[in-house]
């Protein structure tokens, strides 16, 4: 914790009772006063820059994000030729016994053709795993398929997975949901504990550059114990952990004895109801427009009809129940859980396709949403969902008017954890290609900023965060440009300093005389 004074600033506090200020005094890591002199505290002249509360990402995978910083990124690929060239180049630079791991590809970045294992032939006998950007589909080559020993298609479907077949019934190497997570992920060599700890610190630095001072991160208990806990003294990023371990019966007996502090604590457990739009594995009430006879998939506990016992176990442990739901049928199932949850909290993670008939049920429900998912999936929404249902994609304005509560995030490494990109998507309604998509569903910049600060803090169970008022946490961001005044269609402000508990954890200022 550090003492600091920010002077000559335009402070948006996020506190309706004291919305603006000109300076902030931070002592012992907390806001001591607004509009007060520095006294004996180090002072930074903000030169009229805007300062806001520190930004919070309400849904990401921090450790996975850190590891993605050193794996092959295919998000820039725009054709099969580029895809194959990236694989060939990466293969040439690896040790003979190393796996080739990649992430970030999307068929929406080219003509929509799904890749097959033939795209990986330049790697020869090296095992190759290329995760789609949503991490709900993996393209693998024949060496990986031989290692996986997949069951017959009927058994795989019963387990909540699928091996996508070609028109002639041949194997394509494209595996969805549990086919990828159960049979592929378990075969990939795990990095050492030391390497995973390095990934966490890399991810923390990356997050601070984006103006983030807090995150709600989805992690396995094993990583919490082996990676996070030993590094807690080095954490400057506040981490609200949602446990990914989800097989019944849940073992949560150890949770009350886990040492919590302001930078590391457990807030919830997560389950998956369905898949994603891009992989056509999200569960819909009616068929996909481009796949007659296919409504997507229920997975894991939803497939096993075990959601209620799971919910009861999570709430009995005093934790929030976080449920991944993207298709409109899956969203409806989570709303069912919310309605039977009593005093326990259910957060609806993603909520991308919302049936108009469910809007009235959204009042008071926490929708932990990712604006960039909307901007990406909007590109193929009409093809995938049809014209009418495309308008149901992440309907921010309709949900807001219905009384839903927003906590915004990124799902990094699925997309960038840059909140600036998220605010741009939520306030302009533009796709990632810059095309308008149902702009009537946009929200204001202040509404988006609240969803990344004050409301995100409440959803993530951060106490005294997301606002700048006396006794609140001394977490804030200094901006280049004014996020509340810029025209987000043309201008993008950016963080130039990130401050956590009064300490400057990122400083990207230009040299100034």
Residue 145 has pLDDT above 60, yes or no: yes
Q: Token pair of 340, please?
A: 């039977």
Mean pLDDT of 498-512: 87
Q: 10 Å Cβ neighbour count for 82?
A: 15
Average pLDDT, the chain: 95
52 near 479, Cβ under 8 Å? yes
**Contact in structure between 358 and 339 (CB atoms under 8 Å):** no
User: Judging by DSSP bridges, how do beta strands 346-350 and 366-369 pair with one another?
Assistant: parallel
Do residues 368 and 407 touch, judged by C-beta distance below 8 A? yes
Calpha distance 348→258 (Å, rounded): 26
Q: How far apart are CA 111 and CA 78, in angstroms?
A: 9
Sign, Cα dihedral of 243, 247, 250, 252: negative
Banded model confidence at residue 1, pLDDT cuts 50, 70, 90: low
What is the pLDDT, as a whole number, of residue 168? 87
Average pLDDT over residues 491-510: 92
Note whether 128 and 99 are within 8 A (CB). yes
Tokens 């859980």, residue located: 337
Confidence (pLDDT) at 513: 34
| Residue among 420, 419, 417 nearest 63 (CA) | 417
In this prediction, residues 10-29 reach a mean pLDDT of 96
Residue 438's pLDDT band (cuts 50, 70, 90)? very high
SS3 sequence of 175-205: EEEHHHHCCCHHHCCCCCHHHHHHHHHHHHH
Q: How far apart are CA 480 and CA 232, in angstroms?
A: 31
**Following DSSP, what letter does each residue of 370-438 receive, concatenated?**
-HHHHHHHGGGHHHHH-HHHHTTBS-HHHHHHTT-EEEE---TTSS---HHHHHHHHHH-B-TTS-B--
Residue 44 has a pLDDT of 95
CATH superfamily of 264-460: Metal-dependent hydrolases (3.20.20.140)
Return the SS3 of 32: strand
Among 465, 55, 459, 56, smallest CA distance to 268 is for: 459
Give the three-class secondary structure for 494: strand
pLDDT at 355 over 60: yes
Compute CA distances 269 → 66, 89, 308, 315, whole Å: 21, 40, 14, 9
Q: In the predicted model, is pLDDT for residue 7 greater than 70? A: yes
pLDDT at 512 over 50: no
Task: List the domain boundaries for the chain.
Answer: 4-54+471-507, 72-187, 264-460
Fold of 4-54+471-507: Urease, subunit C; domain 1 (2.30.40)
- DSSP state, residue 8: S
Q: What is the pLDDT of residue 167?
A: 86
Summary count for the chain: helices (H), strands (E) = 17, 24
| Pick among 3.10.310.70, 3.90.1150.10, 3.40.50.720, 3.10.20.30: CATH of 72-187 | 3.10.310.70
Return the biggest CA–CA distance within the chain. 77
pTM of the entire predicted model: 0.94
Torsion angles phi and psi, residue 208, rounded to 5: -60, -35
């Amino acid at each position: 914790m550090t003492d600091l004074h920010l002077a000559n600033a335009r402070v948006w506090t996020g506190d309706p009772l004291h919305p603006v200020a000109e300076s902030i005094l931070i002592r012992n890591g907390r806001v001591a006063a607004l509009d007060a002199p520095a006294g004996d505290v180090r002072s930074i002249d903000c030169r009229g820059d805007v300062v806001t509360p520190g930004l919070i990402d309400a849904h990401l995978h921090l450790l996975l994000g850190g590891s993605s910083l050193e794996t092959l990124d295919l998000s820039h690929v725009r054709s099969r030729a580029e895809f194959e060239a990236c694989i060939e180049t990466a293969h040439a630079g690896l040790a003979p016994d190393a796996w080739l791991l990649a992430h970030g590809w999307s068929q929406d970045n080219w003509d929509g053709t799904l890749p097959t294992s033939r795209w990986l032939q330049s790697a020869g006998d090296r095992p190759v795993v290329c995760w789609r950007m949503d991490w709900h589909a993996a393209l693998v080559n024949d060496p990986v398929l031989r290692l996986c020993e997949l069951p017959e298609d009927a058994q795989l479907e019963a387990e909540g997975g699928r091996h996508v077949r070609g028109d002639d019934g041949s194997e394509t190497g494209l595996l969805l949901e549990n086919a990828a997570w159960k049979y592929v992920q378990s075969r990939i060599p795990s990095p050492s504990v030391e390497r995973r700890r390095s990934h966490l610190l890399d991810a923390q630095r990356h997050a601070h550059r984006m103006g983030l001072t807090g995150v709600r991160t989805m992690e396995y208990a094993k990583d919490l114990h082996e990676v996070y806990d030993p590094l807690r003294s080095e954490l400057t990023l506040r981490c609200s952990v949602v446990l990914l371990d989800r097989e019944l019966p849940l073992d949560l007996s150890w949770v009350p004895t886990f040492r919590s502090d302001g930078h590391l604590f457990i807030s919830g457990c997560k389950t998956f109801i369905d898949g994603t739009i891009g992989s056509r594995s999200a569960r819909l009430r009616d068929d996909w427009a481009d796949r007659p006879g296919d409504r997507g998939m229920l997975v894991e506990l939803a497939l096993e009809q075990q959601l209620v016992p799971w919910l009861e176990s999570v709430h009995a442990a005093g934790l929030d129940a976080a449920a991944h739901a993207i298709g409109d049928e899956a969203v409806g199932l989570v709303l069912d859980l919310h309605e039977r949850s009593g005093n326990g909290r259910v957060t609806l993670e993603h909520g991308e396709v919302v049936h108009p008939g469910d809007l009235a049920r959204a009042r008071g429900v926490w929708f932990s949403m990712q604006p960039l998912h909307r901007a990406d999936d909007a590109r193929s929404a009409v093809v995938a969902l049809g014209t009418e249902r495309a308008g149901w994609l992440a309907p921010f304005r309709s949900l807001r008017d219905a009384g839903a509560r927003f906590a915004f995030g990124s799902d990094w490494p699925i997309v960038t954890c840059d909140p600036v990109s998220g605010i741009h998507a939520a306030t302009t309604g533009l796709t990632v290609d810059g095309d308008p998509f149902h702009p009537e569903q946009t929200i204001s910049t202040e509404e988006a900023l609240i969803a990344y600060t004050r409301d995100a803090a409440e959803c993530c169970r951060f106490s005294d965060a997301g606002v700048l008022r006396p006794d609140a946490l001394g977490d804030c961001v200094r901006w280049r440009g004014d996020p509340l005044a810029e025209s987000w269609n043309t201008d993008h402000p950016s963080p130039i300093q990130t401050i956590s508990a009064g300490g400057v954890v990122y400083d990207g200022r230009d040299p100034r005389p």
